[in-house]
Chains A and B, each alone.
Chain A
Amino acid sequence: MTLLSRLGLAFATVLALSLPAKAELNIQEVTSPGGIKAWLVEDHGIPFVALEVVFKGGTSLDSPEARGATYLMTALLEEGAGELDSRGFAEARDSLAASFGFDTGGDSVSVSARILTENRDAAVDLLREALVNPRFDQSAIDRVREQVLSSLRADAKSPEALAPQSFYRQAFGEHPYGSAGEGTIESVTALSRENIQAAHKGALAHDRIYVAASGDITADELAKLLDRLFADLPATGTPMPPRAPWLLEPGVTVETFPSPQSVVFFGHRGIPRDDEDFFAAYILNEAMGGGRFSARLMKEVREKRGLTYGIGTSLAPMDQAELYLGQFSASNDKVAEAIQVVRDEWARVAEEGLTETELSEVKTYLTGSYPLRFVGNGSIANILVGMQMEDLPLDYAVTRNDKIEAVTLEDIARVAKTLFQPEALHFVVVGQPSGL
């Protein structure tokens, strides 16, 4: 067992792993003359900068009658701005070899850009036009609307889309979290250009902006860039939605769908990101159903019993609600057994917590893998903007592993009893399951 003995020795080494990254990861906070803040990691090794911008709010800002407006608006930001129509905008972007990505979720509208140093000013000007002066030409609205409608029709026949939709609808009812941010066939069909313009004004505003950059740019250059990009956005946007209600009863919902497998989406309430027990919960989730092959559910449902190709769980702290979610697919004749295994594991961890070995393994994984995330300009900028969204301090990257290490076996046992609520679980099953 030479390898295993080596692992024992390696343990101490790995704990120190974060040190080199700590030493090298120098996060600066930059404030523009106009008052816009951004976090920056300078790295002049490759001549481009990755920029991540997030506006809090997202599709949850939609009014019920204009459901889908924020989603369609975001899709249209690259479809013409200022003097340029859709094609002109794309050609200008490609001539600069810049990359702009626009995305939206329940709580955010986000922009990811990669910009070459050699033409940074021109690329920033172009991106500014997309953010500040999007055209929303009717022809573009109609064209992209058809794409959204086509996606919605596809979702209506996709178990992987139907399962979470059913879960959220039952959990959140009329709150925006209870319906798809893309909207419905009816609401999207009815969206007007005015709806889109209103969504733009409401979603992209100074009072909700978070910015991070990584790469070949100095703090001074970034400060100027911030004002150039954002100065002309409105000061305030649409008020944030209220807290979401929790309406989901425990149990099983079966939605019949013709498929050899059932898709299962399950969960119950979770824990807020700023809860003092969040790190204990985070470790518990990692042990239960995090991304690793060695997580409990992967071992019990896949490795030991061959019931699924993959199963995972995640804490989902959103702005107006907290969830603890899981998902897997299993053949129709095996899905009942797989659900029972999940229930049993849920009950077991609530009662017993984790073993000392498990806690130690998960800590080693989480602390060891954390510095590995800070590789590449795009990844770094993405992490930095996420930290700001969660209201974490500038030194979080340095202290985060200590917070993981500080969690004790007693903390785990205590938090497991409240985080895991086997009697509260709800399973949505889309397929033709037997025995449910």
Chain B
Amino acid sequence: MLFRSFLSALKIRPGKLVLPTALMASLSLMTPAQAETVSTFTLENGLQVVLIEDHRAPVVVQMIWYRAGAADEPAGKSGIAHFLEHLMFKGTDTIPPNAFSAMIEAQGGDDNAFTSWDYTAYFQRIAADRLELVMEMEADRMRNLRMTEEDVTTERQVVLEERSQRTDSDPGALMAEQMRAAQFMNHRYGVPIIGWRHEMEELSRADALAWYTKFYAPNNAILIIAGDADPAQVKEWAEKYYGPILPSPEIGPRLRPQEPPQLAERRLSYADERVSDPYIYRSYLAPERDPGAQKEAAALTILAELLGGDGQTSHLARALQFDSQTAVYSAAYYNGTAIDDTTFGLILVPAPGVSLDEAEAALDAAVADFIAQGPDPAAFARIQTQIRASEIYARDNIRGLAQRYGEGLTIGLSLEDVQAWDDVLASVTIEEVQAVAAQVLDRKNAVTARLLRAEEPPKPETEPSSESPDEAAAEAPAQIPTEETQQ
């Protein structure tokens, strides 16, 4: 496997959070470090606070996670969750316009934010003795945001430029957008986080304020403090700054429209003159992590690693890049940290001289072989070793730990669920991986996409190998595809 980001060169950005470059990267994203000291309490107004202690260096990370993401947007207002995220940096009664980041930076800190389908989160990394200041500032903008019409107009241009840069300039990203829209027939996961351009252009100050008023409240947020902080002190400041904020009466259960049974395979193709090498991208509808029931998602996580996690040892790499020269690159990805059904993805870049039909037929054969034979026991044993090690490596990164807890709690998992994840992963059996592969890797649930060069018009499909034609995919730029970051 190539060290430099082959994926980034191709502009392929598979599913959320998991970049299928290395096992460690993806597993460690999801593995809590139970060796860390973690404590939690909830304020009377409903704000849950989690402290992850790490006293190796005088540094602290504050993250606030709102249970409000793109999939919570009303129809016709796509992009409002992410747009509001940008506007949150505009100022409050006490923070002058556009001074929020400058004030953090003037303390030697850094800040940013990101939006996903299930959450919007804000963070600062700063010297430990500045924690009180950032807690005061973050609490302040939970309710006291101020923005002018001019702020909104200018910032809307910024997010439109963001869309141009990250999606419209990237055929793979455009393709992935179309693909998700086909994958999710009823759920808002099918709408891009950044928004559809024609709807983004119409987002107003009133839309932003309505979103803000409804969702930005202590009873709809989780506060994570990670690093060199004292529990009693954190509690005192949380009560002082966040405690007085009134809860929102509008917060209810997050019940989104669910997917109906998906009975028909979907296929699409997208041709663009900016495409270099055509490729195949398939996504299957797949179950997510649920409170108290994470086994299936754990098995899928391991399945993704075994099937397409490592460029030298995974099942697809062996079958398609070593035993045959069908593909230049293959990968599988899955991230189960979502509220509702998510996706399991496969990517295949055919070798020169191999047609997309041939490549897809070989991919299907390799998948069928995996389902029939089950995982290689030696490969399965190596994965288990790496799961244990990832717990050790994860402890080196407090920002990563904060991310893990924040993301898990925001989608409705309990602290115990987040902490149990490692054990759940370790408890998955080889048979369970095989079973979940058979269950999920079913093309009735799937969208298969082909990204084509514009000069070779999307042919009506030659001989359907065993499937049919179609399309390609890829995703948005920047490291975490499905998340739009502020900077």
Contacts and interface: CB of A to CB of B under 8 A. Distances in A.
Given A46-B396, A94-B385, A103-B3, A157 B103 contact: no
Contact of B102 (A45, A96, A361): A361
A364 interface: yes
A143 B2 CA distance: 10
Interface string B375-399: 0001001100110111011011110
For A43, A47, A50, A293, which residue has the most chain B Cβ atoms within 10 angstroms? A293
Interface stretch (B177-185, B322-330, B337-345): B322-330
Given A46-B392, A146-B352, A87 B318 contact: yes
Contacts of B6: 147, 150-151
A223 B6 CA distance: 35
Contacts of A310: 487
A310 B164 CA distance: 12
B11 A158 contact: yes
A1 B94 contact: yes
B23 interface: yes
Interface in A215-266: 257-261, 263
Given A148-B2, A368-B107, A14 B154 contact: no
For B59, B101, B126, which residue has the most chain A Cβ atoms within 10 angstroms? B59
Interface string A88-118: 0111001111010111100000000010100
Contact of A103 (B4, B98, B381, B382): B4
Contact of A46 (B24, B153, B395): B395
Interface residues of B, number: 85
B125 A372 contact: yes
A6 B106 CA distance: 12
Given A24-B57, A376-B396, A91 B101 contact: no
B98 A95 contact: no
Nearest to A364: B106
Contacts of A292: 101-102, 105, 110
A309 B162 contact: yes
Interface stretch (A28-36, A166-174, A299-307, A345-353): A299-307
Interface string A1-25: 1111011001001100100110010
Contacts of B381: 95
Interface residues of A, number: 93
Interface stretch (A72-80, A270-278, A317-325): A72-80
A2 B154 contact: no
B257 interface: no
Given A86-B312, A91-B313, A307 B94 contact: no
A197 interface: no
Nearest to B197: A260
Contact of B2 (A75, A86, A261): A75
Contacts of B102: 292-294, 361
For B22, B125, B168, B276, which residue has the most chain A Cβ atoms within 10 angstroms? B276
A149 B382 CA distance: 31
For A91, A103, A104, A304, which residue has the most chain B Cβ atoms within 10 angstroms? A91
Interface string A140-181: 000110111111011111110100000000000000000000
A368 B127 contact: yes
A45 B329 CA distance: 38
A161 to B, nearest CB: 8
Given A97-B389, A146-B352, A292-B110, 17 more contacts: A17-B108, A46-B392, A78-B3, A87-B322, A143-B325, A149-B352, A151-B6, A154-B10, A154-B276, A157-B276, A263-B169, A293-B487, A294-B105, A306-B154, A329-B169, A372-B109, A375-B398
17 contacts: A3-B133, A3-B140, A4-B103, A6-B133, A10-B130, A94-B23, A94-B386, A95-B381, A146-B352, A150-B328, A259-B168, A291-B110, A309-B159, A310-B487, A365-B107, A365-B108, A369-B110
